Structure 1
Amino acid sequence: MTASAALLKTDTISTRLASRGDLTSFLMELTAEIGADSYMLVAIVHGEVKNDARIVASNWIFDAIELTGRCLIAALAQGPLTSILGSRPSALVTGQAPCARDLVSGEEAVLLDVLGHAEIYSLALNVGRQRFFLLVSAGQAGQIDQSALMKAQLKCCYALCQVPQLLADAATQDPLSDRERECLFWVSEGKTTDEVAVILGVSSNTVNSYITHAIQKFSASNRAMAIATAIRSGII
């Protein structure tokens, strides 16, 4: 019996991932098992100039995602400290930025630290022919159980391999119309309803209608939640 099989046998994965809600629950449980506070599951979108992160699932707060930016998230996900399956994970300790200047700048490290990510691990996940990355972080350096990370990485790969279509749908799903997306984008930029109406050349009532439809499609309770969901999904 291989080491991988032994790990799976001693910790049978019974979670059935049938929806985005199941995926969130699974990642929250996995995060708690290793002593982390936050998780972010990302896919990397390769552009002509730079790579960007498509956020599949995350419990990072809205401000952390907005201030950090998806380009930095992509850099963290596929940086030199990223652990492939079977290798010993290494942490980015944001309080020791000079030791990781090839990964984050001093300013970026301070920002991450302030936002509650004092230590960050990046785990590469092979899901069929796709590759995803799981960022796990904690508010204090040394808080995450490093010995549990390799098992968690294997467990995550195994579970996600059962639902490749769910991951593909989550990574690419965009339920919004062009107008709904434009309205959410401008509101996320701090524009008022009247200002968005002027920009798009429509009435304020029409803007409110588009935003209401977006909120309903995301099953959100308000504009802020709809915007946060759209940003986490890489839609705006």
Structure 2
Amino acid sequence: MKIDLDNVWGNPKYHRNIPIYPVQMENIEDLYDTVQCLLLPKNTIQNPMIIKMSYLAFLILISSDDVNKHFFDKLVTLIKLISRSENIRFDVDEKNRYTIIIDDEIVIRERDFDKIKVIIGEQNLIDVSDESLGTEFDKAKSEARAFMNKRNKKMADLEQQIIAYKCVSKSSYEDIKQMTIYQFRKELERYDLIKSADILQNAQYSGMVSFKEGTVIPHWLDHIETKNPDDDIVMSKEQLDKLVSDKGISSN
């Protein structure tokens, strides 16, 4: 079994001979601004021509008017970020197939871009999938997420997260700037688990706090599941079946 630690070490990923670099924390604001060009719900457009298009061709198509041309600007900046190059140009062949050329030697074709889009998401912990189930369902998810955000305690914003990380890690701000977004997010998540485990284990061993029978105290090396952004608002069929079973209701 091959273990892939590229994201942990902050190494570039390669698709064919194309290096895709993880974005560092000092550029996180630029990434969050430019990555919008990867989040357009192409497959919700009920047009066979659009659905058959590559994402790159679709993005260039919608950027061709004045209203949406900012998406192309974001794409250019994003490519510069993930290639760590300022020498970027676009080309189109006689069959209207687009390519992105970096440093006059690295060529990203339309089919490459679809794969690179996924890599960018994985490297920087951003969901760039286009798996919409339709406008009404997406609207319902958006409303449910807004409700949950109001109901739950507000999470620290990015500035507060950076300050918190500096406090617990004793790193300098310059060190944090050089971290990749993946490293920062994953380390912060692990710090949270370590702190929680430490508090609960100390409480257990002190004898001053009792836990219900069967309570599992977290360990600082426990596996942290990757969360789906819809987990708290969308119920799977398996979850529904379990719910009705627990309530003594038969499910067909």
**Larger % of strand: which?**
1
Q: When the two structures are superposed, what TM-score results if normalisation uses the length of structure 1?
A: 0.32
Q: When the two structures are superposed, what TM-score results if normalisation uses the length of structure 2?
A: 0.31
